[in-house]
Structure 1
Amino acid sequence: MFSKDIGIDLGTANVLIYVKDRGVVLNEPSVVAIDTNTNKVLAVGEEARRMLGRTPGNIIAIRPLRDGVIADFEITETMLKHFIAKIGVKTLFGRPRILICTPTNITSVEQKAIREAAERSGAKQVFLEEEPKVAAIGAGMDIYQPSGNMVIDIGGGTTDIAVLSMGDIVTASSIKVAGDKFDGAIIQYIKRKYKLLIGERTAEDIKTSIGTVFPGGRNEEMDIRGRDMVSGLPQTITVKSSEVMEALEEAISSVILAARGVLERTPPELSADIIDKGVILTGGGALLHGLDQLLMQELKVPVFISDDPMSCVARGTGLMLEHLDRAPKQKRKKA
């Protein structure tokens, strides 16, 4: 009774933690820096992110989650323990109950890995919930009515698309094309066109500063630095918005195709509701310039970006925590 319930958006790019009655108390990158000589953790979160691509040989900055699932179990556990300790929810009297979001199509093995990582991080009980459902609730959608609601949640590792009604998912799709793939596409484009090597952080800066996916949406340029593949020396080039759009074309097409597929499998009555209400975009990828306009043009339905899309899932966990005791089916069965 003395410990707090917490909700965790365990993202590929960022971890957000919601504490009941306190709101979102932590938002840090999912990165851990380790000394390979001693296997000692040197930094976690924002401090570790600053080391990405800038460390000496014996120090590596690891992102333990890839494509929305745990790629390195031990590092994920270490990261979760660090964040839970940082927000101070564990007390002498009790451990917190934790609600964690997962992509819609993860396997039972991947679910078990997430559950175990949370338990070993100090959880008394672990609840798992599908990410688009939580994102929809966090975006303010009333998914418990007999009416269609559609959400597209674009995170770092996965894009989760779902149509919800009566508190559950009717049709859904999860693809491993999201923020990380967008950054990767920009890296490859610059490498191919300019024979210049750039890092993940530079690619992300390009995407957020001048990137667009809608023709004519932006007409800006930016100087970037990298390593010339021919001479091996540092070089500066100028990149334009139109080039970023070209670089992202294939990845964005995958998102559009998946969204179209979900709409095609949606019952007609719910499709009619979606035409009335529109589609809500959540997750960091929702902030990609022109994406809402492009989706509106391609899907022929209204598309809206939720308020503060980055924290939608975390806020949704908070709202679900309020009704945790009414969801015994999520409870972990005792062996």
Structure 2
Amino acid sequence: MTASLEQLRRCHFAVDLGAARTRVYVKGAGLVVDQPSVAAVNTRTGALIAVGEFAEKMTGRTPAYIRVVRPVNGGTVVDIEMAQRMLRQLIGDRTRRSLRRRPRLRAAACTPHDADPLAQRAAIETLVGLGARRVELVDTLIAAAVGCGLPVERPEATMIMVCGAAATQVAVLSLGAIVQAQRIPVGGEAVDNAIVQHLRHQHELMLPSQSVRPLQLALSGNGLTPEGPESTEIHGRDVATGLARSVKVDTAAVRRAIQTPLTAVLDGIGKVLRECPPDLVADLADRGIMMVGGSALLPGFDQMLRQATGMPVHIAERPELCAVEGLGAMLEGRIAPMVLDPLGA
């Protein structure tokens, strides 16, 4: 479901609720929130202890009565009440008060491609709980394409790949709409998990949770490319003794370990291209694929796609912000609708 540009221009703020990070764009003020989608709760009292970056740092380091939760999974709100509480804290009292003064407050939100009605309803209820009288839903693929400057309104093919934490979405766009799309349940978290399992089985080493997300710790230099460093040192906990230990990891073995989740992404790209009209595929041979999303920065991922597809692969300038910047451009009226006038009247 994607709202019209006219409806989006009436919105006052937009939210991109991602599995990894939450971003909020306020009309006239720009991006006001860019924080991890994490909250820490006191299970004894139910009180909210921390949100965002501070809550993420608490992961794996809390006593028994503090629970670190992620109210968003795969772009879908799984805990509406907690998502509302987290957003209230992230937005802050001052911004929230200024938004509440707006008559008939309207909001916009990103939803994954082909999100089911329950997922759409959860996103709407989350923002209604913040005071929104009406919520417009925008497909993440459309918002990201607009945010990275793709000419989505033209009668020519553009291909975008949104690399999220929990899923990867691939689509071919033309005339402002999605021609063919595929949602693959493989994202940055699956790649992280493949690395963790490799280190556990091959080196009997457990990585701390904070060392998993920045993949550069495990894949320094050129990372996934064969030209990268032959080995890198990793610090973790010995599975048997529980003591701290460092091991030298062969990066070629790590590359092989993450081939399985990345192969699923390649299969998804192939399926989209096979089901796409031949004229649009011919356009893509020159324009290639635009990668957006936080996981697009995985070292060497773009080169691997280039070699596998034979197509040009580009990474957006600020890939992690493309979706929310696209929503912001629609709110501010910077995107003009295409007018079809075949009679030249």
Q: What amino acid is aligned across from residue 204 of structure 2 in structure 1?
A: K
Equivalent residue number for residue 77 of structure 1: 84
Equivalent residue number for residue 127 of structure 2: 118
Does structure 1 retain, via aligned residues, the 8 Å contact 2:11–2:108?
Answer: no
Equivalent residue number for residue 19 of structure 1: 26
* SS, match of residue 259 in structure 2: helix
Note closer, same or farther for the CA distance 1:240–1:206 as it changes in structure 2 (3 Å cut): farther
Distance (whole Å) between structure 2 residues aligned to residue 123 and residue 221 of structure 1 = 52
Q: What amino acid is aligned across from residue 276 of structure 1 in structure 2?
A: D
Q: What amino acid is aligned across from residue 154 of structure 1 in structure 2?
A: C
Q: What amino acid is aligned across from residue 95 of structure 2 in structure 1?
A: G
Identity %: 34
Equivalent residue number for residue 331 of structure 1: none
In the TM superposition, what is the alpha-carbon distance from 1:62 to its structure 2 partner? Answer: 1.1
Note closer, same or farther for the CA distance 1:254–1:325 as it changes in structure 2 (3 Å cut): closer
Residue 258 of structure 1 pairs with residue 265 of structure 2:
no
Distance (whole Å) between structure 2 residues aligned to residue 127 and residue 243 of structure 1 = 46
* SS, match of residue 289 in structure 1: coil
Residue 308 of structure 1 pairs with residue 318 of structure 2:
yes
In the TM superposition, what is the alpha-carbon distance from 1:50 to its structure 2 partner? Answer: 0.7
In the TM superposition, what is the alpha-carbon distance from 1:197 to its structure 2 partner? Answer: 1.8
In the TM superposition, what is the alpha-carbon distance from 1:88 to its structure 2 partner? Answer: 0.6
Equivalent residue number for residue 42 of structure 2: 35
Q: What CA deviation, in whole Å up to 9, does each residue of 1:167-187 have, x standing for no partner?
A: 110100112211111111111
In the TM superposition, what is the alpha-carbon distance from 1:232 to its structure 2 partner? Answer: 2.3
In structure 1, stretches of 5+ residues that fail to align are 328-335
Structure 1 window deviating more from structure 2 (111-120 vs 88-97): it is: 88-97
Equivalent residue number for residue 93 of structure 1: 101
* SS, match of residue 19 in structure 2: coil
Equivalent residue number for residue 242 of structure 1: 252
Structure 1 window deviating more from structure 2 (220-229 vs 101-110): it is: 220-229
Does structure 1 retain, via aligned residues, the 8 Å contact 2:166–2:189?
Answer: yes
In structure 2, stretches of 5+ residues that fail to align are 1-9, 338-345
The correspondence of residues 124-273 of structure 1 with structure 2, limited to 5 A, is 124-207=133-216, 210=219, 214-219=224-229, 221-273=231-283
* SS, match of residue 124 in structure 2: helix
Q: What amino acid is aligned across from residue 262 of structure 1 in structure 2?
A: V
Note closer, same or farther for the CA distance 1:85–1:96 as it changes in structure 2 (3 Å cut): farther
Structure 1 window deviating more from structure 2 (236-245 vs 126-135): it is: 236-245
Equivalent residue number for residue 5 of structure 2: none
Equivalent residue number for residue 290 of structure 1: 300
Structure 1 window deviating more from structure 2 (279-288 vs 77-86): it is: 77-86
Structure 1 window deviating more from structure 2 (231-240 vs 135-144): it is: 231-240
Does structure 2 retain, via aligned residues, the 8 Å contact 1:213–1:294?
Answer: no
TM-score (norm 2): 0.88
Residue 322 of structure 1 pairs with residue 329 of structure 2:
no
Does structure 2 retain, via aligned residues, the 8 Å contact 1:31–1:62?
Answer: yes
Q: CA RMSD in A?
A: 2.3
Note closer, same or farther for the CA distance 1:50–1:87 as it changes in structure 2 (3 Å cut): farther
Equivalent residue number for residue 71 of structure 2: 64
* SS, match of residue 88 in structure 1: helix
* SS, match of residue 132 in structure 2: coil
Distance (whole Å) between structure 2 residues aligned to residue 200 and residue 70 of structure 1 = 23
Distance (whole Å) between structure 1 residues aligned to residue 247 and residue 61 of structure 2 = 21
Equivalent residue number for residue 332 of structure 1: none
